[in-house]
Structures are given as C-alpha cells and as structure tokens.
Copies of this chain bind each other. A is one copy, B any other.
C-alpha cells in the first residue's frame, strides 16, 4: 500500500493542508482563511504551519509521507512547475511553486491548477470514481474546467486545456472578465446569475428576490428561490441551458463517461442539473449521450485538498515511477 500524501490547497477563500491516504481518507486537516494581502512567502509559511498541525492530527510523521501535492488557484506552467498568476492573490507570477513545496517538505512534489486538481480528485475519490474519461467544470465566481482522459489529467500543449468557461454561448451577451462578450462564464457563473436577477428586478419583474437588498443578492439566493419563485426558476433554467450548450459541445468532442459539475453554484442541485441534462441531451450526438452521466461534485469544499492529494498519489507517484 502506497504512503499517505501531504495535500496543500491555495484557494481564494482558504489555505488548507491535509494528510490523505490512497483511498481518500483524510487522516488530518487544518485550514485558515486566505489573507488577500499575503505574499507567496507568507502563504507558503502558513501552509507549512497548517501541515505541521495536519500531520500531528494524522498520527503519522513527515517520514511516512510519500509525496506532496499542491492545488493552486490560478493558471500554471505544468512542465516547469511554475505558477503563471493567481486569481486571488498578488505576486504569484512565475513562482516555482513545485520546487518550493518539494524542498520545504523534503518530498517529491506535483502542482497543478485547482480545476485540474479537482477533476482528478472527483475521479479518484468523488462523483466520478471508476471513470476513465471525465469532464469536470467548476462553476463559482468564474467557470473553469479540467479533463481526465484515460485516468490522467489532460493538459494540452501549454497547460491551458479545460478552459470551457470562455466558450461563446450567448452571442451579443454580457461582457466577460476576459473582455469578450457572451462567454459561458459571463452568463452562468455566480456573478453572472446575480447580474441576470438584478437586471430582471430593475426591469420591474415580480419576484420574492425583490425582498433581498440588491447589493446583497447572490447566485445562492436565486438558486434557493428557484423551487418556488418563477423569475428565479426561469433564470436557473436559462443558466442550465447555457451550461448545457457549452457541455454539449465538449461532450461531442470528448465523449466522456461522466460530466461532474463542482463549485458553489453546483450546490443548487437539480434546479441547475435538470436543465443542464435536458440541454446536453438536445445538443450532443446520441452515441455520446447514451451512457453519459451528469452529476454534481461530491468533494465540495474539499475539492482542492483531495485534488492535491490525488495529484500526489496518482500523478506524483507515476512521475516518480518513471524517472
């Protein structure tokens, strides 16, 4: 049996460290909120304090760990082991995070972006257990994606594969964070959902959402109201259709066994998933839809941590085995 891994998660809301067994059991875990002003040095310092605590809880020692995996909240240059930038924190341009983690932990290290890590985590320990080909989407502040093909993360030519969030699904639609208009992220991310609700309320549509102060209105309110409120239902239906349109194109291309939708917005459950499933059935070719499953992620706020562990346990160990 392989050794447990040290898993490190650098996310927008929290930093976390954990000790995870090859079957996905979390033997120890420690986390703290992300300080948005933290430098990379300070973040690494904090992560290794959290690691000490997680290892202590686990009853294991540093020497019993086989590898360290890092899930990073931003694009990375995978072959170089460097971050490109962080979605949440300053100063992360070109940081050699893989080597820094390896040196600090005294262990072989593997590092990838959070969407790839979560895709592998859901495949190893979550909703897509047992699947070989998986499309993972995270739908929260933004929309990212990760592909597990043949049980391994597929990264493409520049470590940039999986960018399903910037597929055009709403021509002439609202402006996206990327500067273009009508991207999936612009209309189906948390902020996109809140924006659609605000626009409808401004236009005078009747809804129980009108009771919520406009500046406090979030996608969560819309998802929660969707069981009983007709405006909220319509918005979530349309969001599901947009997601389904982007997913159908990806399913036609990739023919995965399973699509896993994670991230905060996925917690809406069937209010979101049912319109997604309908749109994918309508938009994808019969051969690819026949056996396809579409489900919410199971790892929730442990996606980054268990993804980091899966990196260390699957990709890390494979790398070590080869060299």
Q: Which chain A residues have a beta carbon within 8 Å of chain B's beta carbons?
A: 75, 84, 132-133, 145, 147, 149-150, 154-164, 166-168, 171, 178, 180, 245-246, 248-250, 252-257, 282-285, 287-288, 290-292
Contact = CB atoms under 8 A, between A and B. Distances in A.
Contacts of A147: 253
Given A166-B285, A168-B249, A249-B167, A255 B158 contact: yes
Given A249-B249, A250-B253, A285 B163 contact: yes
Contacts of A145: 253
In the complex this chain forms, how many copies of it are found? 2
B291 A163 contact: no
Given A166-B285, A168-B283, A291 B157 contact: yes
Nearest to A158: B287
A246 to B, nearest CB: 8
B168 A156 contact: no
18 contacts: A84-B287, A133-B157, A145-B253, A156-B255, A156-B256, A158-B291, A159-B255, A160-B285, A161-B288, A164-B252, A167-B248, A167-B249, A167-B252, A167-B253, A168-B248, A180-B283, A249-B249, A253-B254
B157 A256 contact: yes
